[in-house]
Structure 1
């Protein structure tokens, strides 16, 4: 016995009982995903229960769990439901949840050192290199998602193409005049990364897109030539495999060829489109990703790993390490003991403290196999084509606003005789109605000045009947709102 404090419970059996109850409730929550409203906004009373001063004394774990069960669990974002179509949120999977829970039990810091979590992350990265066609000598690191992966990749690209030592002398002295290129449909994380890297958002040249909303490669070549003539230093171009707005896939092969000819760093944003290559009909469209200097993608989207889990791969491992390695003497490696395990992951990204994300990725891939996960990707692509066809059958009341190229369908309800502004307002309200009634959760976007109902299919639970029900609800609510509009 000792009077020294510890955070371990005095009664392990009581804590075990709460854990068992929580696991049972969690499995029931996933198993019942089809039977609940897609989204329920947190009511004021639930928010009020969470609003309290800093607790200075202990609260029994039974009471804490009771609050979670009644005031937190019922009011999630809704992406476990098969009718969640908003943004690009994967649905997670039960086996991945087990990996997440066990990783928390182990409580590993995967910044480095010699322990099994480091080896498991290396295995997951090796799988990724094989899947994406990268050489075995490439480097990689798991991240919170593609946004952080993009920041890491752009840091490596900036330092590799700078005229001097950016880490020592700063951007103004070593990286003046660097500019990069991404389409108008590219993700906003690129502008944010350039802001954080000190290059400025204006250093990202926005390239127009073609009628299929893919990067205009002719315009890209003209912009590179114009910037060189102006004395600037083009250093990077980005191709997107699956844009967030419409799911368009850029001509990755041509962007890569331009980069090689112009000596630019070639980056691919494949946040969810990386796994389009698991589907035969899309394999050729994304095959050229294997020639990229870097690429970033997410597991928590189409691979269904619980949030958060992403990855960045870099072809030149030496350049990758040179951009981030900066260990102090108290982080020195060793030939033996716990300080071994070189190379350390902290030398390949901005974080020293890193969670054991690889375990839930490993559980997911081992449990379902790449073929099983690829079957979900194929199903979602088929469902998108089906939805596009159903929208077409309901013309002119429904209108497709972009080609269905992968897994995203953008359409709108067209109220008869309404102005463009009134039609836009109706579609925004229609989407909010769908969400608040718990029917479905699409999102909205704007294409050519028109508000689109945007349906993104990355959910392994989604059934074709969920999409048919969505269309029925869109037509019903649209007619109701159109009637009110006519009566005003």
Structure 2
């Protein structure tokens, strides 16, 4: 009977790994096919449509397929991926994808993601190599962004979470009362200042933090879409007189609509004088700081209390990886650290020194995002990244010149960085939308759309390392040709 129980237990205690040497060989061969397939896909992406819609039948199949109680095997699952998933992505790996400020990813980043998944660490900040890699990456990024030694930070899912964390630290540091203990009702109304061009993450952040949108004070912008400092100063003074507490100014390095950058030096001066937290949303624009030629436009950013940016945008890395940097490491820790017996630090072993990243975020479980950053910087170097950023800015200038030289097109706003907004001249908002959708649907290119001064514009956000001048020529030619179709 004992022998029978042992056999039964062995059968029950299977893992999810291949069960035999033959199965290992088979899966290894499939893995090599998958890797070769992705290399072929990325290498040949220029020859594909910039975007193509899922066929109706494929959509129907996705909606109708039942839960797979028994598997079909890895090879069949891969075939489904190749047939039904790979051709119908959003298209941001394509050299003519310029929509919504999305980076195109890199081959080295893709390989690093595979290695990270193979290691499969929970990067909560344990005493392990993955933690050391992220700490090193954060130190490099702080240095590159002009922030001092000892700056704290964290890699996040993206700019929205990075911005939220930076604002949360600022609230704890500048509220004037114990927000973590008393909640937002423990003191005067807290006020956060931003421009009318600030990204919508801030609305969500103040809602999630329980401060409500009533805590937000949007400030008007000038003709270059930069926050008006006179209005900002007046708003702060008015709130002080009303008994509110000015908490934080959110400056923007590269606004989402036009790529404008606020006067960060002046905002830093005001925050220093008034004792406010200075946070910069640099989702894509902050990375222009890496370039000596572009850095002057971001002067003052190095004085931030907290800074958020995305490496999957103008850092070109695969999704997802954002970053928040916090000048005051103790303020960062004070905003999130908490005691729990199951997280107690030990003198030796995997939790020697504590679980450091758990003290910088509400999250405990975190993936190994840092590996793709680390491997990319080590393998390609920062100078290669700077070269691409400067190329994209030059491409934006080139596109703006092409638009201005066309009698059928017009710029909707200046292009100070890497975003170009333009219209088909004489067309209504609905007609310009139609032009944009036809460009997208035909797989020619993928710009996105936005509203500039209450008028619809085609928006080209250039964070694509695969783009060439010929791609922007193709876009202009297509918009002109389709504009003639739409206008009759």
> What's the TM-score bracket when you normalise by the shorter of the two chains?
over 0.9
Q: Which runs of 5+ in 2 are unaligned?
A: 1-6
Aligned twin of 1:262: 274
Question: Which whole-Å deviations, capped at 9, do the CAs of 1:231-274 have from their partners, x for residues lacking one?
Answer: 11101001111001000011111111111111110001111111
Aligned twin of 2:458: 453
CA distance in 2, matches of 1:449, 1:173: 40
Q: What is the aligned counterpart of 1:24 among 36, 48, 54?
A: 36
Does 277-286 or 354-363 show the bigger shift? 277-286
CA distance in 1, matches of 2:276, 2:176: 14
Aligned twin of 1:463: 468
Q: Which runs of 5+ in 1 are unaligned?
A: 484-488
2:177 is equivalent to residue 164 of structure 1: yes
Matched residue of 1:38: which SS?
Answer: coil
Q: Give the drift of 1:48.
A: 3.1
Q: What is the aligned counterpart of 1:425 among 405, 430, 435?
A: 430
Question: What are the within-5 Å matches in structure 2 for residues 170-319 of structure 1?
Answer: 170-174=183-187, 176-319=188-331
Q: Give the drift of 1:278.
A: 2.4
Question: Which whole-Å deviations, capped at 9, do the CAs of 1:148-188 have from their partners, x for residues lacking one?
Answer: 011111111111122322222222124x3100101011111
The count of residues paired between Structure 1 and Structure 2 equals 475
Matched residue of 1:218: which SS?
Answer: helix
Q: Give the drift of 1:327.
A: 3.5
2:342 is equivalent to residue 330 of structure 1: yes
Q: Give the drift of 1:414.
A: 1.4
2:152 is equivalent to residue 147 of structure 1: no
Q: Give the drift of 1:341.
A: 4.5
Does 263-272 or 161-170 show the bigger shift? 161-170
Say whether the 8 Å CA contact 1:114–1:338 is kept in structure 2: yes
Say whether the 8 Å CA contact 2:124–2:355 is kept in structure 1: no
CA distance in 1, matches of 2:72, 2:364: 32
CA distance in 1, matches of 2:463, 2:247: 33
Say whether the 8 Å CA contact 1:391–1:399 is kept in structure 2: yes
Q: Give the drift of 1:147.
A: 0.4
Matched residue of 1:277: which SS?
Answer: helix
2:416 is equivalent to residue 411 of structure 1: no
Q: Give the drift of 1:343.
A: 5.3
Aligned twin of 1:65: 78
CA distance in 2, matches of 1:125, 1:471: 40
Aligned twin of 2:17: 8
CA distance in 1, matches of 2:339, 2:254: 37
Please give the TM-score of this superposition, normalised by the length of structure 2. 0.96
Q: What is the aligned counterpart of 1:480 among 479, 485, 488?
A: 485
The alignment yields a C-alpha RMSD, in angstroms, of 1.2
Question: Which whole-Å deviations, capped at 9, do the CAs of 1:184-217 have from their partners, x for residues lacking one?
Answer: 1111111111110000112111010000001111
Aligned twin of 1:97: 110
CA distance in 2, matches of 1:36, 1:377: 25
Question: Which whole-Å deviations, capped at 9, do the CAs of 1:423-475 have from their partners, x for residues lacking one?
Answer: 11110011100000000000011111211010110000000000001000000
CA distance in 2, matches of 1:61, 1:477: 44
CA distance in 2, matches of 1:47, 1:61: 22
CA distance in 2, matches of 1:329, 1:314: 27
Please give the TM-score of this superposition, normalised by the length of structure 1. 0.96
Say whether the 8 Å CA contact 2:145–2:290 is kept in structure 1: no
CA distance in 2, matches of 1:164, 1:275: 34
Q: Give the drift of 1:363.
A: 1.5
Say whether the 8 Å CA contact 1:113–1:338 is kept in structure 2: yes
Say whether the 8 Å CA contact 1:95–1:364 is kept in structure 2: yes
CA distance in 1, matches of 2:474, 2:275: 50
Aligned twin of 1:486: none
CA distance in 2, matches of 1:393, 1:368: 37
Q: What is the aligned counterpart of 1:88 among 79, 101, 117?
A: 101
Q: Give the drift of 1:146.
A: 1.0
Question: Which whole-Å deviations, capped at 9, do the CAs of 1:89-111 have from their partners, x for residues lacking one?
Answer: 00110001011110000010001
